[in-house]
Amino acid sequence: MRWERLWQSVGLAGVVVFFVSAFSPLPNALYHWSASSSEVRPADAIVVLGSSVGENGVLGCGSLQRAVRGMTLYRASEAPLIVFSGPNLTGVSEAEVRAELARALGIPSGAILVEDGAFTTREEAARIGATLRGRNLRRILLVTDPQHMRRARALFERVGLQVLAATAESAAATDTAPEGRLRLMRETLGELLARAYYRVAGYL
């Protein structure tokens, strides 16, 4: 009987969370609570963090949004250098695909740096931080999702860089369709879990 009660309670909680997530603005509110806003000012470099790329060499939606945000900042002369990050997990380097796109859109090769050896945000901060410090570049415009920004910013500040947030917004934040809200909830909880892990591991 205790077994039944216990799992009925868990099940009820699950059903309530499902309906609240799908049919109320809670996911949107959680998203805005956990997100960072932009503070764009001139910097030494624009750092575009990795996201995903398909085996066919097509950038994922988030990756493309970040890349476009980075290129827009470069075009607005906010920094003379743009660093594209993104690992080579499937035989295709995300950073190289982005760099190729940037060159095709008229950004000179000399203004582009590629970092495809980092697999996590922490590794991106360590590797890009070392590269930029070696060039005596300290102030960066960091481009990533609004939710990811808080964790990423803390990591880049820990490696000695001055970080200005340049968030790559997506339409998902304002999605009110149930499926979109469920996706938003999952992404928000995923990022909160990642922050908790980074804190426990001592990375933040």
Partner 1 sequence: MAQAFLLILMGVTSTLALLVGAWRLGLPLSGLGRGAGKALECIGVMLGFFVLNLAVGIAGTLLWRQVTGTFLSLYYANDATLLGISLLQGLVFEWWRRESREPSGESREPRG
Tell me: does residue 90 bind partner 1 (CB under 8 A).
Answer: no
Listed ranges 2-10, 60-68, 93-101, 153-161: which one lies at the site for partner 1 (CB under 8 A): 2-10
173/188 Cα distance (integer angstroms): 10
For residues 105 and 31, is the Cβ–Cβ distance under 8 A?
A: no
Nearest distance in Å: CB 11, partner 1: 3
Compute CA distances 76 → 73, 123, 137, 141, whole Å: 5, 28, 19, 12
174 is an interface residue for partner 1 by CB under 8 A: no
The CB-of-89 to partner 1 minimum distance in angstroms stands at 7
- C-alpha torsion angle, residues 20, 23, 29, 32 (rounded to 10): 120
Question: 101 or 194, CB closer to partner 1?
Answer: 194
Q: Does 105 bind partner 1 (CB under 8 A)?
A: no
Report 114-173 residues binding partner 1 (CB under 8 A): 119-120
By rule CB under 8 A, what string of x and - marks binding of each residue 12-31 to partner 1?
Answer: xxxx------xx--------
**Which phi and psi angles does 144 have, rounded to 5°?**
-160, -175
Residues 38/70, Cβ–Cβ less than 8 Å = no
**177 forms part of the interface with partner 1 (CB under 8 A):** yes
Query: CB of 193: closest distance to partner 1 in angstroms?
Result: 8
How far is residue 117's CA from residue 18's CA, in Å, rounded to a whole number?
A: 38
3-class state of residue 59 by DSSP: strand
Q: Which residues of 174-199 are buried (b: 16+ CB within 10 A; e: fewer)?
A: ebeeeebbeebbebbeebeeebeebe
Cα 48 to Cα 68: distance, rounded to the nearest angstrom: 9
Q: Of 78 and 187, which CB lies nearer to partner 1 in the complex structure? A: 187
CB 141, min distance to partner 1, A: 25
- Compare residues 89 and 154 and give the one whose CB is closer to partner 1: 89
* Residue 176 binding partner 1, by CB under 8 A: yes
With CB under 8 A as the rule, give the number of residues binding partner 1.
24
Interface residues with partner 1 (CB under 8 A)? 4, 6-15, 22-23, 87, 89, 119-120, 176-178, 186, 190, 194, 197
